[in-house]
Copies of this chain bind each other. A is one copy, B any other.
Amino acid sequence: MKSAFQRQSPGEAAILDAAVQLFSTNGYDAVSMREVASAAGVSKANIYHHFASKETLYRAILDQSAADLSGLVETLAASTGSFESRLAEFAAGHLQHLDRNPLASRLIIREAFSGDNQRSRILVDQVFGDIFERIVAIFRAGQQAGSLRADLDPALCATLLMGADVFFFQARDVLAQFPDVEFACHSPRFSREMVEVLLRGMMNSPMEVRA
């Protein structure tokens, strides 16, 4: 793919746009290069002019998706404030980030959770790992400050928080079909109540801090 200093041709851009749509929706194996070409409005041979193989094209899409999602890590790094506010900020920001990058999110999540047949194990683990470590760091800081209960594993707490967002992102369409599940269409409400429950379950109560 072109470096940052070279402008993409219209064809290349169209190919990438079409590919991210198709791969994100249907997965790697169900998408043919003819399909990508047709959706992009170019010939299949033109894809091979820009990308050495189907695998290379997919890898380019994954790289871009990873870059899209890594914006969240920067946000986390810049975050300051009390333990509670940082957590609330993360939970809302994380889910919002997933929602704003649905294609990238779905791609990375699918790769992360797929079985043995994986194309970019290292990249995906890194994306997940970076985000995960940042969350764990917040929990550790909270524990050292006496806000988070000392008997809880910060990594387990991070798993609960991250898992809630990722599951919601994945399951939202299914949940929306069940009766009385209004929050399925309202991410901020889910985030708010989820964080409230988790914080209440994880925090040292004021009495305990004073004692």
Contact = CB atoms under 8 A, between A and B. Distances in A.
Interface of A: 24-30, 106, 112-117, 124-125, 128-129, 132-133, 136, 152-153, 155-157, 159-160, 162-164, 166-168, 170-171, 174-175, 177-178, 180-183, 190, 193-194, 196-202
B156 A190 contact: yes
The A interface is mostly helix, strand or loop, or mixed, namely: helix
Given A132-B178, A164-B163, A167-B159, A152 B193 contact: yes
A155 B181 contact: yes
Contacts of A153: 182-183, 193
A167 B109 CA distance: 11
Number of copies: 2
A194 B27 contact: no
A183 B193 CA distance: 26
Contacts of A170: 113
A16 to B, nearest CB: 19
Contact of A25 (B28, B116, B128): B116
Nearest to A113: B170
A200 B124 CA distance: 34
B194 A117 contact: no
Contact of A163 (B113, B129, B155, B168): B168
Contacts of A106: 115
B178 A133 contact: yes
A139 to B, nearest CB: 11
Given A129-B178, A156-B190, A27 B29 contact: yes
